[in-house]
Structure 1
Amino acid sequence: MTTGANGSDDLDAVSRDLERRGQEYAVATVVWRQAPSSGQIGSRAIITGDGQLHGWIGGACAEPTVIREAQRVIRSGEAQLFFLGASEELMLPDGVTSIPMSCQSEGALQIYIEPMLPPVRLIVIGHSPMARHLTELATVLGWRAELIAGADFSSAEVDRQSVVVVATQGHGDEDVLRDAVSAMPAYVGMVASRKRADAVLGYLADRGVPAHLLERVHAPIGLDLGSTTHSEIAVSILAELVQLRAAGELAGELTEEPASEQATAPATDGRIELPVLQPTTALDPVCGMTVPADDAHYPHEHAGTTYHFCCVGCRDAFADDPERFLAGATQSCGGAD
């Protein structure tokens, strides 16, 4: 989905709104162009994880590619420099990812795409000195950390990007953990011994909490630092969370639940949602571009198969002689880059 194609979006306002909602996004900036590309040096766009584009980065050829690569950058968490165009006659510097494009204008772009990841939202449930220390230490790192008493906690406090540490330590562990896992946060950890954690998980399993939810619980948590004091235990837990974040394991990606458990899982408080399916893509058989396989990308049916195209020019060329392109021929597309 694209918005603000006329460049009228206030990108600062868009970024503030995304950050306020804790959503990750990427910023794409044109750093070089080869005329007659419609993208200009300094042109910027914001791309969200679900593929919405705000601002202006280029025309119909460049835009779908930028959206696709921005989504990959968001998932990886690493900025990248991309070259979009015909690179056969150019010497590209190391570290540049070349993406061949055959737009009719024959322009080219170099685009720097940088991920903008929101700070970790840490929810610590409990009231012990260790829970307080953990919350304070996470705040020093710039994380959005909050401490909630077990009696005051509900699954409504949690979203898909949250990192939840259950530190109730014997005070209503079962109810708190059940509510926490039902919200499907990015991470759920429990401060408990292995024996205590097994007892709590077994209790919840016996009462119908689905296995795919209980399998998400990490327990015990914290790196083995030989910790003894409340502060040291808090450091060990935060160290493990930092390690997991660096490995990309706190991203909160949605995964599909096992089919058998989807059918038998008991009703909860409504927090378990259906998995979000990523939009499918298709290869334009005329110019070779990858485009979303949706109604906005010029669907055309031939011999029982629906093909999608980057522009009406490619669709019409295919409709005139489909066997030519199905045999592997390509041509420049009729769109603008």
Structure 2
Amino acid sequence: MTGEQTLFATLQRLQDAAVPCALVTVVRCETPTSARPGQKAVVTAEGIEAGWIGGGCAQPAVLRTVAEALEDGQPQLIRVSPRREQGAVEGLRDFHTGCASGGTLDLFVDPVLPAPALRVYGASPAARHLAVTAAGVGFAVQAVAPDTTAEAFAGAVRHADDWRAGEDWPAPRFAVVATQGRGDRPALEAALASGAERIGFIASRRKFARLREQLAERGHHAARLDAIKAPAGLDLGARTPEEIAITVLAELIAWRRGGAVDSGQAPAVPQPAATPGARAGASSAGCCGGG
């Protein structure tokens, strides 16, 4: 395997594992440097995974910039040089280094962020429509629904036919429970244990209030329960499963982008160190109203 093949195989492996990384490219050099224009490296928050972009003098600046780019998603152009520039160059961030070689490197740091994972629990019509529409706007959809097949969830990249997700699945950033009265409580417990930042529950406030009491009695932390928003979705007067799925997707986009849309409850909260595992049990009966 050539160096370029290794580079892009590494990039693909990290993407498949949902590991954020950056592709760093040498765009300009002033000799003496060990790197050459066009050379690339795949870099994670932990360090260089593959490729070559120069010696040790450049690496601290690269690692610092990669960490920032992975945080805000913005690419950066940086210069690593032993000389302090007299005037700032627009769009170029200057790093002064005490490297004895005397060379200068300009590098482009391009973050490669995985699609945010969305775990959808349930096989209701709204769940199936959400799987399709969310995949269409860049979410990596994981479908979790007992007694179903992957074919029922067009757009999903992963599927489980019970409430347990695969051990090798990337943790979801968000989760939506759309069970429509079939497995509400076990699905909510699975969503709580998943580590999702926010959880949408397609159900009425009254229904969730009752379930919240049950979940608290079963040992789930109040701070974690605050991550659940019910009813899920923006209040657009939706009635059909297709419309409800769209309102939930709109809210997910607002959560993803950090928008200022007032979507009610469920601010982002940290997950406690230990969350009780879901125990088997029948869900509460009743319809899951979307309003």
**TM-score range, shorter-chain basis?**
0.7 to 0.9
Equivalent residues of 1:184, 1:213 under 8 A apart: no
Q: Report the Cα distance in structure 2 between the residues aligned to 1:154 and 1:176, rounded to whole angstroms.
A: 6
Give identity over the alignment, percent: 35
* 1:81–1:125 Cα change, 3 Å: same
Residue range with higher mean Cα deviation, 52-61 or 152-161: 152-161
Match of 2:163 in 1: 154
Alignment partner of 2:227 out of 216, 238, 241: 216
Q: Specify which of 195, 201, 210 is matched with residue 199 of structure 1.
A: 210
- Asked if the contact 1:85–1:109 (Cα under 8 Å) also holds between the matched residues in 2, the reply is yes
Q: In the superposition, relative to structure 1, how do residues 51 and 202 fare at CA in structure 2: closer, same or farther (>3 Å)?
A: farther
Does structure 1 conserve the Cα–Cα contact (< 8 Å) formed by 2:193 and 2:275? no
Long gaps (5+) in structure 2: 148-160, 260-267, 279-291
> Which residue matches 1:13?
9
Q: Which has the larger radius of gyration?
A: 1
Does the 8 Å contact 2:78/2:92 carry over to 1? yes
Residue 221 of structure 2 aligns with an amino acid whose one-letter code is P
Counterpart Cα distance in 1 of 2:269 and 2:103: 38
- Aligned counterpart for 1:176 among listed residues 177, 187, 208: 187
- Distance in 1 between residues matched to 2:139 and 2:85, nearest whole Å: 47
Partner of 1:58: 54
| Alignment RMSD (CA, Å) | 2.8
Structure 1: unaligned runs, 5 residues or longer: 1-6, 270-337
Relative to structure 1, the CA distance from residue 244 to residue 162 in structure 2 (aligned partners, 3 Å threshold; closer, same or farther) is: closer
Q: Secondary structure at the match of 2:50?
A: strand
Q: Structure 1 89/143 Cα, relative in aligned 2: closer, same or farther at 3 Å?
A: closer
2:70 to 67, 74, 80: 74
**Match in the other structure for 1:268:** 277
Aligned counterpart, 1:125: 121
Partner of 2:165, secondary structure, is helix
SS in 1 for 2:42: strand
**In 1, distance between residues paired with 2:257 and 2:49?**
27
Q: Residue 167 in 1 paired to residue 163 in 2?
A: no
Which of 178-187 and 23-32 deviates more? 178-187
Q: What's 1:144 paired with?
A: 140
Aligned equivalent of 2:265: none
Aligned partner of residue 115 in structure 1, secondary structure = strand
Q: TM-score, normalised by structure 1?
A: 0.67
CA contact (8 A) 2:47 2:63 kept: yes
Residue 88, structure 1, aligned to residue 112, structure 2: no
Match of 2:131 in 1: 135
1:314 corresponds in structure 2 to: none
Structure 1 residue 115, shift from structure 2 partner = 0.9
What is the SS of the residue equivalent to 1:240?
helix
Name the aligned partner's letter for residue 214 of structure 2: Y
CA offsets per residue over residues 245-267 of structure 1, 9 Å max, x none? 2239xxxx99674xxxx5xx575
